[in-house]
C-alpha cells in the first residue's frame, strides 16, 4: 500500500530497510564486478550505487562510440548500393 | 542477385545466430541465479526474442537516419552529429522495445517529441532533419545543466541518498523520483543498455565485415 502511494508521489517518506536492501541486492547482481565476485553482504549500498553510476556512464560511453562507428560504416556502405540492398534484405 | 544473396546468407545468419546464441548462453548462468530475485526483468532483456525485436527496430531506425542524411547532404556535415543521430535512433528503438512499461523509456520518447515541438513550431516531417540535430544539442545541454536541489526525502543515510540522486540524473526521466523508483528504473535501464551494446556491436561487426570484403561478382 505504501509502496503504491510512494510510487505516485515524488517523495517517499517511508521506505523500509528490507525494500532498500532488496533493491540494492538486485542492482548488485547486475553489476559486472561486485555482483559476481563475492556474494557476501560486506559490500555497502554506497559502493553499489557508486559502481552503478560508473557502469551506466561506461555503457553510455560505449553506446556513443558504437553509434559513431555505425554512422561511419553506414556512410561507407551507402556508396555500394547493391551491397546495401543485400545487407538490408539479410538483416531484415 | 538471387545467387548473391544465397551465397552470402549462410555466414551472415550464422554470425547473427552466433551472436544470439552466445548472448543467451552467457546470460543463462546469471539469469538462473538471479531468477529468484528479479527473474522477470533479467529474462526480458536477455531473451532472444527481445534481442531480435530490438535488432529489427534498430535497423529500421538506422535506415531512416541514413535516408535523412542522404536526402539533405548539408544537414549533418560533422561525424559527431551523424554519430549522435545514430545514438538517438538507437535510444528511440530501445525505448520503443520497452513497450512503455518503464519510466526511462517513456522519458526518452517524450523528450524527443517535446524538444522537437519546442524547436519547430510546425511538426512537419520535412523539417525533421534540422530539428534532430538541434534536439540532440539541446537535450544534451539541458541534461547536464539540470541541477537537482532535492531535499525532499529525509533518509537515514545521507550519503546513500546523494548517490541515489546522482543515479537518478543518469537515468533518463528519473531526476525527481523517489529512491525505490530510481533503483528499479536503474536496474532495467542497465540491462536495456547492455542489450543495446550487444546489438550495436554485432551490427558493427556485420557491417565492417561487409565493408572489408571485396564485392563478389
- Among B49, B50, B59, B45, which Cα is nearest to B12's? B59
The whole-number pLDDT of residue A57 equals 93
Q: What is the DSSP letter of B215?
A: P
Query: Given pLDDT bands bounded at 50, 70 and 90, which one contains residue B40?
Result: low
Any idea which of A16-25, B3-12, B65-74, B179-188 has the lowest mean pLDDT? B3-12
Q: How confident is the model at residue B30 (pLDDT cuts 50, 70, 90)?
A: very low
**What are the residue ranges spanned by the domains of chain B?**
2-139+153-208
- For B:106-165, CB contacts with A below 8 A are 152-155, 157, 159-160, 163-164
pLDDT value for A56: 92
Spell B106-135 as b/e; 16+ CB within 10 A means b: ebbbebbeebbeebeeeeeeeebbebbbeb
pLDDT digits (tens, 9 = 90+) for A22-71: 888 888 888 877 556 665 656 778 888 888 999 999 999 999 998 888 88
Note the maximum CA span of chain B: 70
Q: In chain B, what residues touch A89 (CB-CB under 8 Å)?
A: 5
Element (H, E) at B122: none
Distance from CA of A38 to the nearest CA of B (A): 14
Whether A23 maps to a domain, the answer reads: no
Q: What percentage of chain A carries pLDDT values higher than 90?
A: 11
Averaged pLDDT of chain B: 65
Flag whether A86 is in a domain. yes
The three three-digit cell numbers of residue B24, written as one number: 543467451
Instruction: Check whether B165 has a pLDDT greater than 50.
Output: yes
Name the CA radius of gyration of chain B, rounded.
20
Of residues A75 and B212, the one with the higher pLDDT is A75
Q: Is A32 inside a domain boundary?
A: no
Would you call A91 and B170 a contact, using CB atoms and an 8 Å cutoff?
no
Q: What is the pLDDT of residues A8-17, one digit of tens each?
A: 444 445 677 7
CA atoms within 13 A on the CB side of B152: 16
Identify the DSSP state of B214.
P
User: Tell me, what's the pLDDT at B37?
Assistant: 40
Comparing A5-9, B82-86, B93-97, B115-119, the range with the smallest average pLDDT is A5-9
Helix or strand (DSSP H, E) at B120: none
Do residues B51 and B198 lie in contact, with contact meaning Cβ atoms separated by under 8 Å?
yes
Q: Evaluate whether residue A47 is within a structural domain.
A: yes
- Of B33 and B70, the one with more pLDDT: B70
Position B8 confidence tier, pLDDT thresholds 50, 70, 90:
very low
**A67 contacts in B (CB within 8 Å)?**
83-84, 86-87, 90, 200
Structural domain contains residue A49: yes
CA–CA separation, B68 and A78 (whole Å):
12
ipTM for this model:
0.74
What gap in Å lies between CA B3 and CA B154, rounded to an integer? 68
- Within 8 A by CB and 6+ apart from B69, the residues are A75, B75, B76, B82, B85, B129
- Give the span between the Cα atoms of B193 and B9, in whole angstroms: 29
From the list A74, A80, A92, the residue facing B66 with the nearest CB is A74
Query: Is A84 inside a domain boundary?
Result: yes
Q: What angle do CA B131, B208, B89 make, to 5 degrees?
A: 20
Q: Which of A2-16, B20-34, B68-82, B202-216 has the lowest mean pLDDT?
A: B20-34
For chain A, what is the domain count?
1
d(CA B122, CA B125): 9
Residue B161 pLDDT > 60: yes
Instruction: Report the pLDDT value the prediction gives residue B157, as an integer from 0 to 100.
Output: 67
Q: Note the pLDDT of residue A8.
A: 46
pTM tops 0.80: no
Q: Residue A71 is part of which domain span? A: 43-91
Q: What is the largest CA-CA distance in chain A?
A: 61
Task: Please report the pLDDT score of residue A59 as a whole number.
Answer: 92
Amino acid at each position: 500500500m505504501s509502496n503504491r502511494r510512494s510510487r505516485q508521489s515524488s517523495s517517499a517518506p517511508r521506505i523500509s530497510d528490507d525494500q532498500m536492501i532488496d533493491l540494492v541486492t538486485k542492482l548488485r547482481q547486475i553489476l559486472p564486478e561486485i555482483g559476481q565476485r563475492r556474494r557476501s553482504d560486506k559490500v555497502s549500498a554506497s559502493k553499489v550505487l557508486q559502481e552503478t553510476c560508473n557502469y551506466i556512464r561506461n555503457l553510455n560511453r560505449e553506446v556513443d562510440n558504437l553509434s559513431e562507428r555505425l554512422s561511419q560504416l553506414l556512410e561507407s556502405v551507402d556508396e555500394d548500393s547493391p551491397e546495401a540492398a543485400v545487407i538490408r534484405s539479410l538483416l531484415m | 542477385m538471387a545467387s548473391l544473396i544465397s551465397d552470402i546468407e549462410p555466414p551472415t545468419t550464422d554470425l547473427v545466430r552466433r551472436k544470439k546464441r552466445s548472448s543467451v548462453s552467457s546470460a543463462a548462468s546469471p539469469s538462473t541465479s538471479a531468477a529468484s530475485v528479479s527473474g522477470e526483468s533479467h529474462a526480458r532483456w536477455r531473451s532472444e526474442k527481445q534481442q531480435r525485436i530490438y535488432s529489427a527496430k534498430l535497423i529500421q531506425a538506422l535506415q531512416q537516419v541514413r535516408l535523412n542524411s542522404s536526402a539533405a547532404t548539408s544537414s549533418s556535415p560533422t561525424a559527431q552529429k551523424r554519430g549522435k543521430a545514430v545514438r538517438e535512433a538507437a535510444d528511440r528503438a530501445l525505448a520503443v522495445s520497452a513497450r512503455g512499461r518503464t519510466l526511462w523509456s517513456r522519458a526518452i520518447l517524450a523528450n524527443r517529441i517535446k524538444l522537437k515541438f519546442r524547436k519547430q513550431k510546425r511538426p512537419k516531417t520535412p523539417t525533421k532533419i534540422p530539428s534532430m540535430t538541434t534536439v540532440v544539442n539541446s537535450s544534451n545541454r539541458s541534461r547536464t545543466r539540470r541541477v537537482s536541489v532535492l531535499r525532499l526525502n529525509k533518509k537515514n543515510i545521507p550519503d546513500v541518498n546523494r548517490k541515489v540522486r546522482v543515479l537518478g540524473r543518469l537515468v533518463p526521466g528519473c531526476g525527481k523520483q523517489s529512491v525505490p523508483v530510481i533503483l528499479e528504473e536503474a536496474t532495467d535501464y542497465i540491462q536495456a543498455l547492455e542489450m543495446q551494446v550487444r546489438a550495436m556491436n554485432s551490427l558493427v561487426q556485420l557491417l565492417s565485415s561487409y565493408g572489408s570484403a571485396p564485392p563478389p561478382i
